[in-house]
Amino acid sequence: MDKLLIEGGVRLQGEVAMSGAKNAALPILCAALLTRDPVTFTNVPQLNDIATLLKLIGQMGVKVERDGDAVTLDASGLDNPVAPYELVKTMRASILVLGPLVARCGEARVSLPGGCAIGARPVDQHIKGLQAMGAEVSVEHGYVHAVATRLKGARLFTDMVTVTGTENLMMAACLADGDTVIENAAREPEVADLAHCLIAMGADISGVGTDMIRIRGVERLHGATHRVMPDRIETGTYLCAIAATGGDGRLTGTSASYLEAVIDKLTDAGCRIDTEPDAIRLRAPARLKAVNLRTAPYPAFPTDMQAQFMALNAVADGTAVIRETIFENRFMHAVELQRLGADIGIDGNTAVVQGVASLQGATVMATDLRASASLVIAGLVAEGETVIERIYHLDRGYERLEEKLARLGAHARRIH
Ligand code: EPZ
């Protein structure tokens, strides 16, 4: 398995371009299943998760063409509405094919994604919503089997804010008979980006970006071209890396408009941030101030940035209290950060981080995507050499990571 070797202590400086958003591209690629016409997406990041989803969609009978950051999908030949376990187990967002398949084919058989390092990750809200729209749904032998001649518009209310739950139900509702309202809908920008793509394909959706999304079902959707939004979590991750190393960096091809909560915390930590229409520049002080944070659904502080801020707080002045309210087990990075010398106490879903003068390089292990990013940030500031094992987690969500870090002056290289 590949490892990442980082020589710490370098102030990150320079300019690097961000990629398209993984968590927007994944549902958007699934939207192509809703129409017989070819659909083209641009700014699609080259990531393992994207490759896995394209493989999953391809085995359903969909034609897949990839040209750089552009992907064209032609689902006219879709004849196998099944998502098998061996593919779904490696990428739980595969559940996003469920809604489109039921809406387009009247049937779907999708392996239950199973949990992952950060939590049980159930999909009960996805199932409850489809049942409310008239689907017969059973869960047998680890598969969700859903059947509906034609889904019916309904008033849906999810028990908690669920990003992919909202996305699955919004896609299913596009072809339903009648109107659907999703209450308590997720407001994450990736949900809005998917909605804009569906509208370009002929869907009738209002309330985009709010917690009440209204979808008026139509007979069919047509082809379109859609550019995937920039990855706000990748952007936030690099901002944290520049901040933690006391650097001065400019990120292009991205926007600050979906990162208010993160930028607010980086400013509190002492960073100076200048925003342009499609770029962000961050200048950091030699030593950051510790910042408290509590994760919650958008527009509050994103859970996907919690691990990165734990690394940043590990070397900041003062004590930080971090509350993780979304996932039940998203502090796996803490024990690895402690191996680098961080002073972190965990009590349930609360972590107390005492800033230390410096971290010392060591060998650490990545456990999930954003935990890995946290270890990269810590390795960049630690004295000496840090080796991060199991970096396949990183490759799921960070395109050309070493190349982008190198553009900012980091000494990082992959060892096979
Ligand atoms: C999406 O996951 C993201 N993934 C996650 O990013 C992100 O951390 C998460 O939203 C929260 O923002 C994609 O978009 C592909 P949820 P998702 O449904 O949709 C519970 C990354 O790092 N829940 O919003 O799976 C669930 O257990 C990944 O890129 C149910 O109980 O998350 C969790 O506690 C990690 N039943 C909470 O709701 C359900 O049916 C929020 O989960 C659905 C969710």
Rounded Cα distance, 334 and 357, in Å: 17
User: Per residue in 216-259, pLDDT tens?
Assistant: 999 999 999 999 999 999 999 999 999 999 999 999 999 999 99
pLDDT at 118: 79
Give the distance from CA 393 to its chain's centroid: 13
Q: What is the DSSP string of 61-121?
A: T-EEEEETTEEEEEGGG----EE-HHHHTT-GGGGGGHHHHHHHHSEEEEE----BTTB--
- Mean pLDDT, all residues of the chain: 96
Q: Helix 98-105 to helix 124-132 angle, to the nearest 10 degrees?
A: 20
Mean pLDDT of all residues in 42-60: 97
Residue 161 confidence (pLDDT) above 80: yes
Q: Which atom of ligand 1 is nearest to the CA of 297?
A: 12
Residue 90 confidence (pLDDT) above 90: no
Q: Which atom of ligand 1 is nearest to the CA of 119?
A: 27
Residue 24 confidence (pLDDT) above 70: yes
| Given the residues 30, 105, 116, 271, the one annotated as active site | 116
- Going from the Cα of 121 to the center of ligand 1, the distance in angstroms, rounded, reads 7
User: Per residue in 250-299, pLDDT tens?
Assistant: 999 999 999 999 999 999 999 999 999 999 999 999 999 999 999 999 99
Residue 49 confidence (pLDDT) above 80: yes
**What's the whole-model pTM score?**
0.97
Ligand 1, atom 6, residue with closest C-alpha = 304
Residue 148 confidence (pLDDT) above 90: yes
- Going from the Cα of 67 to the center of ligand 1, the distance in angstroms, rounded, reads 30
Find residue 377's DSSP bridge partners.
none
The closest alpha carbon to 119, from 323, 333, 326, 365, belongs to 326
User: Per residue in 190-222, pLDDT tens?
Assistant: 999 999 999 999 999 999 999 999 999 999 999
The pLDDT-based confidence of 115 (bands split at 50, 70, 90) is low
Q: What is the DSSP string of 180-210?
A: EEEET----HHHHHHHHHHHHTT-EEESTTS
Which pair of structure tokens corresponds to residue 40? Answer: 């083209």
User: Per residue in 331-376, pLDDT tens?
Assistant: 999 999 999 999 999 999 999 999 999 999 999 999 999 999 999 9
Q: Which atom of ligand 1 is nearest to the CA of 49?
A: 15
Residue 116 confidence (pLDDT) above 80: no
Q: Measuring from each residue's beta carbon to the nearest atom of ligand 1, which residues come in under 6 Å?
A: 23, 26, 93, 119, 121-126, 160, 162-165, 303-304, 326-327, 369-370, 397
pLDDT at 333: 96
Q: What is the DSSP letter of 160?
A: S
Residue 56 confidence (pLDDT) above 90: yes
Classify burial at 407, counting beta carbons within 10 Å of its beta carbon; exposed 0-12, middle 13-18, buried 19 or more. Answer: middle
Residue 240 among the catalytic residues: no
